[in-house]
Amino acid sequence: MKVYGYIRVSTREQNEDRQLIALKEVGVLEKNIFTDKQSGKDFNRPQYKKLVRKLKKDDLLYIKSIDRLGRNYEEILQQWRVLTKEKGIDIVVLDMPLLDTRRGKDLMGTFLSDIVLQVLSFVAENERTTIKQRQAEGIAAAKAKGIRFGRPPKPLPQNFHKFYQKWKEGEITGTAAAEFCGMALSTFRYRAEIYEKAKLS
69, 76 Cβ separation under 8 angstroms: yes
Cα separation, 21 vs 96, in Å, equals 17
Least confident of 74-88, 105-119, 134-148, 175-189: 105-119
Express each pLDDT in 187-200 by its tens digit.
898 888 888 877 66
Helix (H) or strand (E) holding 23: helix 17-25
Cα separation, 138 vs 106, in Å, equals 48
Q: What is the CA radius of gyration of the chain?
A: 28
38, 68 Cβ separation under 8 angstroms: no
Express each pLDDT in 97-129 by its tens digit.
878 888 766 555 566 667 777 776 777 677 777
Residues labelled as active-site residues: 10
| pTM of the predicted model as reported, rounded to 2 decimal places | 0.58
Cα separation, 10 vs 70, in Å, equals 10
87, 2 Cβ separation under 8 angstroms: no
In terms of Cα–Cα distance, which of 128, 118, 126 is closest to 40? 128
Q: Render 179-196 in DSSP notation, one character per residue.
A: HHTT--HHHHHHHHHHHH
96, 66 Cβ separation under 8 angstroms: yes
Kindly give, in sequence order, each residue whose CB lies less than 8 Å from that of residue 185, ignoring residues fewer than 6 positions away. 174, 175, 178
- Indicate if the pLDDT at residue 158 is higher than 90: no
